[in-house]
Amino acid sequence: MSKHEYIVKVHEEENGSLWAEVLELPGCFASGGNLEELREALEEAISLYLLDEPEGGKLEGPLAPAPQPHMEVGEMRVKVPA
């Protein structure tokens, strides 16, 4: 099974928790208490986002509003089955 790699922008909240937005998939984001939890949550969020995608095109709007970032941490790459 092939995998597709997505670049996500990772943000940190004041309480130390993390959330990330998938740059290629508007409205697709996830959160976690640490990087490992965040990666697992992102893999699930991306898979669900792609399942909801209409055939032949992207979703017309975001699934839910993205939370506002407190502080940017950086980027990570997440691979999911294509």
**DSSP characters over 22-45:** ETTSTT-EEEESSHHHHHHHHHHH
Q: Return the higher-pLDDT residue of 48 and 55.
A: 48
pLDDT score of 64 more than 60: no
Rounded CA separation 26/3 (Å): 20
In this structure, whether the domain defined by 3-81 belongs to CATH 3.30.160.250 is answered with yes
Q: What is the mean pLDDT of residues 36-55?
A: 87
DSSP 81: E
pLDDT score of 17 more than 60: yes
Rounded CA separation 37/44 (Å): 11
Whole-structure pTM value: 0.66
Rounded CA separation 81/68 (Å): 29
